[in-house]
């Protein structure tokens, strides 16, 4: 999860849940001090049973942020191995699909507003790799295009039932995953090709900047925003 998300969202909601692959250092005191309830559920988003357990453990859902991600080695499709493809898609596509499928029945139970809308909101953190072809390897790029389509379809299909689904497409953000990508052995030619466009990036983003955008998209203030893909890349994708 982007580090900023677990600090910003609790300040505006009573309860939240954060499934993750690694043990979660959740700011429970921040939430409970404000009179809310914090539940941390450890799990693997690529395993449907873990997603179902997390939703069952928490119960009522108003907001879900799909934010787990897995990188590839920036390999082009001709040098892509099955293991990498399957691992990246398991986290980046299967995980959000499992979460949508498990969370929607819970959101539909919410009363919503007077018109029966605003029952729930999804925010899926994708990437400008999901709107462009030259920012990463074949597996990551394909997975981010796929989850973008899944999230947009969810927004359209459930709009009349009061559920919204929006997508954030960040550029480079100063997170642990980006740091890891710089130390992991990458495909040399793929990395060279991808790096050619990095010079057009105005600046690296901060986790809290993504969190602020997620907070808006999840809030009632964004009630008319649905199925949208919002770039958060300092203008990089405008190049």
* Closest to 145 (Cα-Cα) out of 157, 161, 127: 127
Distance CA 63, CA 91 (A): 20
d(CA 57, CA 45): 15
Given strand 63-66, what is the order of strands in its sheet?
63-66, 120-125, 163-170, 229-232
Cα separations in angstroms, 147 against 59, 68, 90, 114, 171 = 25, 12, 11, 31, 16
Quick check: is 140 catalytic? yes
Q: What is the DSSP string of 119-131?
A: -EEEEEE--GGGT
Give the distance from CA 166 to its chain's centroid. 10
With CA atoms as reference, report the closest residue to 201 among 173, 234, 168.
234
List 98, 140, 158, 172, catalytic entry: 140
CA nearest to 136, candidates 203, 94, 195, 179: 195
The CA distance from 127 to 193, in Å, is 18
Cα separation values, 6 from 19, 179, 186, 222, Å: 11, 20, 30, 20
Residues marked active site are found at 140
């Amino acid at each position: 999860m982007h580090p900023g998300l677990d600090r910003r969202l609790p300040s505006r909601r009573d309860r939240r849940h954060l499934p993750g692959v690694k043990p979660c250092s959740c700011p429970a005191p921040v939430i409970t001090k404000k009179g809310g309830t914090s539940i941390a559920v450890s799990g693997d988003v690529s395993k449907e049973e873990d997603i179902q357990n997390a939703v069952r453990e928490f119960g009522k859902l108003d907001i879900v942020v799909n934010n787990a991600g897995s990188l590839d080695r920036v390999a082009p499709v001709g040098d892509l191995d099955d293991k990498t493809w399957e691992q990246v898609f398991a986290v980046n596509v299967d995980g959000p699909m499992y979460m949508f499928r498990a969370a929607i029945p819970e959101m539909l139970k919410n009363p919503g507003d007077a018109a029966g809308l605003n029952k729930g909101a999804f925010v899926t953190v994708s990437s400008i790799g999901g709107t462009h072809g030259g920012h990463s390897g074949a597996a990551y790029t394909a997975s981010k295009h796929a989850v973008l389509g899944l999230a947009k379809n969810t927004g359209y299909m459930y709009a009349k039932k009061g559920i919204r689904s929006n997508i954030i497409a960040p550029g480079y953000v100063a997170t642990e995953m980006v740091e890891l990508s710089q130390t992991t052995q990458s495909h040399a030619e793929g990395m060279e090709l991808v790096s050619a466009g990095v010079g057009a990036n105005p600046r690296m983003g901060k986790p809290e900047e993504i969190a602020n955008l997620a907070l808006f998209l999840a809030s009632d203030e964004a009630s008319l925003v649905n199925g949208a893909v919002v770039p958060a890349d300092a203008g990089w994708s405008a190049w």
